[in-house]
Chain A
């Protein structure tokens, strides 16, 4: 008996089923079905899982509290996920599948600007609204799309707070070096930081990018070191943040401040780097120190949200969790306001939305991006993440300048 083709087929089928995990979903008449392609494998795995946690937390809360009331009828909510493998093209085709085959009512965004951009094109074609909390590149919002809304602050603003902190120290930081990954989000973060620095009298002495797939950034760090900057900024994602920070220590680069767009907020950063993570600053969309008083329908304060979230997932919510939950809330309020599940009516309600939540203000400009919500800056102090900026929300004073390597 020849088993070879059968065995090979079995393996391929097994791989395929693992590559696209999916949960059974009931698309019954009394359920509002959301769909989302998130990065459950690939380079953005960690961030993808944080996104999914944020969505699931909202789903559990909403269903436990009766669901969403739409024009006199109450609906439960459910979310169908596919794994986009951190690939933009895959995310778009999965969004198409969610809309055409799974008949989801609405789309919740993927993680990352690259994937959000391709999914935005898809929902535009299908005329199904998407709210996303994890794609901050303005590139997504300069195409005239009408069906994509983002609850988070634009990418260009990620590291402004870090620069502002440096500017107000005594003595003030005067120079900045910027390294950035080559993806569109990171490039916009770097561009925004460079523009802000130039406009506020901080000299940009180094500004260079590395490929997203870089496995060694030593030579970029060597060149950066030669410029002897007061502030070092990295625009990238978690993995490159760790890579850059390790390389900075290896090359013994001493700056007064180290700021990252993504990284310090996730416990993985501290777990990977140990004491070297201390005194690092990170731009963040949210922290549990923010003081908004949310409208009824969900946890009204960041502290309450954080406490309940930690009870469910056994870790403090980071801003990726919070912004993902906020994306769901935008839908919840818009569906209630529309009093309908009609995609067009919900889209129009999203465009008019003006709600305050634990996360901040949910309000979109004509491009669909939330420019009404400020960023915060967190610093890792003795292994703990604390909010240090803006001054009104600061839980602790910024530690400045950062001590030399080995003394943290």
Chain B
């Protein structure tokens, strides 16, 4: 079995419509397998995990309040295409819609609107879990609250998520009004990103993280809001066609030279200083989903995504120092995304904190572990942390140094699962669980 970054371990998944029956005795549930590292992979001692994707029924939707209750294997793509044409959208979406509701809770995903909407968990009103004892337990912010907030962002380690209830939000149209800017360097970028946060509900930046010197950190800033009915095209957006990357894609095509060329090419692909217009919601939220199985481009060894959040307290120049370290170390990355982040979520291991998030895809080589160690040392010194959903290589001592909330999370987990029967390859690596 593989994570999205193609980290692999021996293991198998079992699917079934009845999640309550399926998850009995299993160490872990897995959805669409979009976590990059080992978060959805089985521990060595229990190699069969529950795949929840057949448990995908919507159990209730209230057209007045937007409250939606569904089985945990329901994919975000299904939700988007069932509800967007009717004027509803999820309150928070990650950058791919090939995720399940259960995965969105377990990773407490954030999106381009984190500075205004927080993480997904803020909008969840109730969860139904199969906990380690085998019992089925309902929890909410008021009912078994500790279990609830340990599960939000808890990487599936507190119980199998069977059902999720959350609040959808009304949108004025199913289209996005986008403002795109070409930004010449990292300092301008951070300034623009922070300024835009007060005017635009959604924003993110793509950064060329190869170019050094005065133009270091140049890139594109994407800002957006839902289009008004007057601005929007009359028809609802049609699902985009997908192209599948072949399994034998020659991964040598991704090398430092092509990555540098591609970064420059992408930068100049938008020759205007700025442009505005109506865009398809898939193009705005899920640009990479048009390439099915794009992770194959990195070849058999795969890649890792390094995503960290750097706190506002580290100063505005922290992004410059991070990029300087990265480009000096030659960590050429095809994709580098920067986002403004708002207040820390209530999930006990929820990733974001006020500041900015930087994510980069790094091809797996013999040097990648050292690069991640170097970046982690920087992040620890600046008071930031990494995102477990993306991680494959962070050392346990580094994670502990980043995460003062870890012991509180582990205590809740122990209270519900003293025998640590619920675990993953990640929890074995990071929290020292028995194999």
> Are A and B associated in one complex?
no
Which residues of B are in contact with A by a Cβ distance under 8 Å? none
